[in-house]
Chains A and B, each alone.
Chain A
Amino acid sequence: MRPVIVPTADVNSETCTIVRWLSADGALVRPDDLVVEVETSKAVLDVPAGGEGLLLRAAREGEEVPMGGTVAYLFPDRVSLEEFRERLEHERQQALEMAAKGATRGPRASRKARELATRHGVDLAALAKTGLITTQDVEAAIRRTAPVDPAPALSPLPAGQGVERILVLGGGLGATQVLDILGGNPARRAVAILDDNRELWGRDVGGVPVVGGRERIAGLYRDGEIDAGIVSISTSIRVRKMFRELCRDLGVPMTNAIDRTAKIGADVRLGMGNVICAFCHLGVGAVVGDNNFLSAYNSFDHHCVLGSDISTGPSCVASGCVEIGSRVRMGTGIFIEPYLKIGDDVQIASGAVILQSVPAGHTLKLRIGHTVLVPPKSS
């Protein structure tokens, strides 16, 4: 058996198309006989047999074959030709079956989404999405199908008549800070904590029980067991914002938690859902949006304007008339000059001294002013 090969006469094409066969399947051909006409992007070529024998076609008219690829085989006798034809037919059938399997592989999804769906037993076809399925879609499906197991035995703490019953969202270290702020005030009481981490369910933080995950928010409010919610999470702005929007969508009011050592100046306008830790200062005329977490020793001086969903570390200090956008994340020990504007979604590294406005979406990293640890001199 010897192959009939398309000559690589055209350096501009990687493939060519079979236009028509000039020799019949099984015909006896001689070396100079033209057996097939192929077309590249530049020309139509007649391909000679290049040898003597019985011809077996390896491609159909209209099929694309690589330049330099095999288009036919030549055999010395009919028996060897038939054997080879059967093998070729078998391989072609297998390839067709593989292709068919590939075609019915299901909807289009990213690799991560496919892996996540497999782990959680989500049927991608059932998502009925026309575009590309991403991990977000699969996560949403997992949330929808997750068995709601509210552990009904877990109920909020009781509270006396007229006491504001507060639901704390998030059961981590932030919750201990919120509970510390609320403690000692007879008019307000944290009665329950929600956290999506199931391992916390049934446990308590500072005596306040974790009674379930976010799916309980609506029920607790509807059943009259809570009056308002507050987000204790300071480490993720995305999660803070998600909880605020969830409460808004469910019609659950938010409340502020302001430490009694904080100094709130005259004419300060404050939204809802803010956590303001010990020794904070809001100067006269400051305006603060909703759902901000201001750590200890923050000072936003007179006529500062803060957006919503902000989270700061301790000792962030802004001079007067500074504007800070929403979803801004600030590290520890940051100073901001007066009249500057910090845009939405800005992230500021610890220790920054800000002398000019920061446009939205930017991250402020620290290149200078870092500390260097010098070991003691050996005596």
Chain B
Amino acid sequence: MPAEGGLIFSRALGNTLRALLERDPRVILLGEDIADPYGGAFKVTRGLSTDFPDRVRTTPVSEAAITGIAAGLALEGFRPIVEVMFCDFTTLCFDQVLNHIAKYGAMYDHQVECPVILRTPAGGGRGYGPTHSQSLEKHFLGIPHLRVVAASLYLDPLTVFSQLLSQSEPVLYVEHKLLYPLSMVDAGGDDSPELLFGLDSGECGLPTVTISAVPRRECTVTVFAYGYGAVQAANAAWDLAIEEEIFAEILVPAQIAPVDWGPLERSVAVTRSLVTVEEGTAGWGWGSEVAAQVSRRFFGSLRRPVESVASARDVIPAARHLEQQRIPGAEAIAQAIREAAR
């Protein structure tokens, strides 16, 4: 994987968008304040409007309008990529996504396609308060014909976006904001001497990265995690291996819905125990669905019920110490792994 050492995620993503603009004239970026000099709330699009003034456009403050315009552009053959400033505001795009963008292809028997990509920063940990810290992707997970993809330090965003542009289903791409300042990890290189990285190419077109301290056959629990939870889980896997000889295999799917079951099944078949980690509120979510499916597929051979780690069903306070009590912390994840590894 071509991620360069030291390149932080927000920069890797910015480079990716630049590369897409350069090589595909259909690509158009839309979003609030994404043009220079501001360059977006998290500076992902910095410099792009200067070099591509016609195709990187700052919009008025109306998520429904931006998403609707993107739908129109996509129907006309463009490849719009929308930045929704905070995941919390995706609720304002929901009707456009559910009733229009995701339906057009099937509704018109694929005579038209509507390949809109929505990008959005999600997650807490920075004290932004109840309406700028949420992970709302769970509300989009069940929508037919919508792919939900999660940003990761372990997979070059250019690989991901190239695949997304090579097909025509619409996509919600969720970027946990704690990933922006973190360096990309070259999962295929020698600069990760501690953990073992692997890649299961799976069946959905986007791979699942596997991370563990020891080979899979020695692991006694699988951890299915994405976003910043994947980083926390990978750190926990290393600490638990060194300090307690508890061996977990972390699976980081690029696409979180629909779930690509192959890579997960191959791991759980060996470990026979599963923990899911997500930052959305607990229940009716990603972990619940994964638990239900894995319990069916492995009925009788799991050692224990699937455990799901998620946020408390409550608002996220702005005060850092209170926020930490609501969203999954490193210790909560480690404790779940400890229990499930037995």
A: which residues have CB within 8 A of B? 11-15, 40-43, 108, 110-113, 131-132, 134-135, 343, 359-362
B: which residues have CB within 8 A of A? 8, 10-11, 42-43, 126-128, 177, 180-181, 193-194, 196, 213-215, 218, 241-245, 272, 299-303
The smallest C-beta distance from B9 to any residue of chain A, in angstroms, reads: 8
Contact A131 B126 (CB under 8 A): no
* CB contact between A41 and one of B8, B128, B242, B300 (< 8 Å): that residue: B8
Chain B residue nearest in CB terms to A135: B245
* CB contact between B241 and one of A132, A343, A359, A362 (< 8 Å): that residue: A132
Sample (20) of A-B pairs whose CB atoms are under 8 Å apart: A12-B42, A12-B126, A15-B181, A41-B43, A41-B180, A42-B42, A43-B43, A108-B193, A110-B242, A110-B243, A110-B244, A111-B242, A112-B244, A131-B196, A131-B215, A132-B214, A132-B242, A359-B299, A359-B300, A360-B300
Using A110-B242, A131-B196, A132-B213 as known contacts, say yes or no to A41 and B127 having CB atoms under 8 A apart.
no
Contact A111 B272 (CB under 8 A): no
Contact B43 A42 (CB under 8 A): yes
* CB contact between A362 and one of B180, B213, B303 (< 8 Å): that residue: B303
Contact A40 B181 (CB under 8 A): yes
- Residues in B neighbouring A110, C-beta threshold 8 A: 241-245
Q: A132-B213, A343-B300 are in contact. List 7 more A-B contacts (CB 8 A).
A: A41-B8, A108-B193, A110-B241, A111-B243, A359-B299, A359-B301, A361-B272
- Residues in B neighbouring A343, C-beta threshold 8 A: 300
Contact B177 A12 (CB under 8 A): yes
- Residues in B neighbouring A40, C-beta threshold 8 A: 181
Contact A41 B196 (CB under 8 A): no
Chain B residue nearest in CB terms to A362: B303
Contact A131 B214 (CB under 8 A): yes
A197 to B227, CA, bound (A): 51
The smallest C-beta distance from A41 to any residue of chain B, in angstroms, reads: 4
A198 to B154, CA, bound (A): 51
A132 to B218, CA, bound (A): 11
A-B contact count (CB 8 A): 58
The smallest C-beta distance from A132 to any residue of chain B, in angstroms, reads: 5
A362 to B273, CA, bound (A): 12
Contact A13 B303 (CB under 8 A): no
A113 to B303, CA, bound (A): 27
A132 to B219, CA, bound (A): 12
A362 to B244, CA, bound (A): 23
Contact B243 A11 (CB under 8 A): no
A276 to B43, CA, bound (A): 74
Chain A residue nearest in CB terms to B179: A41
A14 to B43, CA, bound (A): 16
The smallest C-beta distance from A43 to any residue of chain B, in angstroms, reads: 7
- Residues in A neighbouring B10, C-beta threshold 8 A: 41-42
- Residues in A neighbouring B8, C-beta threshold 8 A: 41
- Residues in B neighbouring A359, C-beta threshold 8 A: 299-301
- Residues in A neighbouring B245, C-beta threshold 8 A: 110, 112-113, 134-135
Chain B residue nearest in CB terms to A363: B303
A134 to B243, CA, bound (A): 11
Contact A41 B181 (CB under 8 A): yes
- Residues in B neighbouring A112, C-beta threshold 8 A: 244-245
The 4 closest A-B pairs by CB, nearest first: A359-B300, A41-B181, A42-B43, A13-B181
- Residues in A neighbouring B180, C-beta threshold 8 A: 12, 41
- Residues in B neighbouring A14, C-beta threshold 8 A: 181
Residue with the highest number of chain B CB atoms closer than 10 Å, among A12, A135, A361: A12
Contact A361 B301 (CB under 8 A): yes
Chain B residue nearest in CB terms to A343: B300
- Residues in A neighbouring B218, C-beta threshold 8 A: 134
A374 to B42, CA, bound (A): 70
- Residues in B neighbouring A132, C-beta threshold 8 A: 213-214, 241-242
Contact A360 B214 (CB under 8 A): no
Contact B42 A41 (CB under 8 A): yes
Using A11-B127, A43-B43 as known contacts, say yes or no to A134 and B214 having CB atoms under 8 A apart.
yes
Chain B residue nearest in CB terms to A345: B303
The smallest C-beta distance from B240 to any residue of chain A, in angstroms, reads: 10
* CB contact between B303 and one of A41, A134, A361 (< 8 Å): that residue: A361
Contact B194 A12 (CB under 8 A): no
Chain B residue nearest in CB terms to A42: B43
Chain A residue nearest in CB terms to B10: A41
- Residues in A neighbouring B244, C-beta threshold 8 A: 110, 112
The smallest C-beta distance from B296 to any residue of chain A, in angstroms, reads: 14
Chain B residue nearest in CB terms to A14: B181
Chain A residue nearest in CB terms to B218: A134
The smallest C-beta distance from B183 to any residue of chain A, in angstroms, reads: 10
A111 to B241, CA, bound (A): 9
Contact A11 B214 (CB under 8 A): no
- Residues in A neighbouring B299, C-beta threshold 8 A: 359
The smallest C-beta distance from B50 to any residue of chain A, in angstroms, reads: 15
The smallest C-beta distance from B100 to any residue of chain A, in angstroms, reads: 32
Chain A residue nearest in CB terms to B298: A359
The smallest C-beta distance from B305 to any residue of chain A, in angstroms, reads: 12
A42 to B10, CA, bound (A): 9
A216 to B44, CA, bound (A): 68
Chain A residue nearest in CB terms to B121: A12
A152 to B242, CA, bound (A): 41
A14 to B241, CA, bound (A): 27
- Residues in B neighbouring A131, C-beta threshold 8 A: 196, 213-215
The smallest C-beta distance from B281 to any residue of chain A, in angstroms, reads: 23
Chain A residue nearest in CB terms to B213: A132
Chain A residue nearest in CB terms to B194: A108
The smallest C-beta distance from B246 to any residue of chain A, in angstroms, reads: 10
Chain B residue nearest in CB terms to A13: B181
A110 to B43, CA, bound (A): 40
A108 to B272, CA, bound (A): 27
- Residues in A neighbouring B193, C-beta threshold 8 A: 108
The smallest C-beta distance from A211 to any residue of chain B, in angstroms, reads: 34
A80 to B126, CA, bound (A): 40
Chain B residue nearest in CB terms to A114: B242
Residue with the highest number of chain A CB atoms closer than 10 Å, among B127, B193, B303: B303
A361 to B304, CA, bound (A): 9
- Residues in A neighbouring B241, C-beta threshold 8 A: 110, 132
The smallest C-beta distance from A227 to any residue of chain B, in angstroms, reads: 37
A362 to B300, CA, bound (A): 8
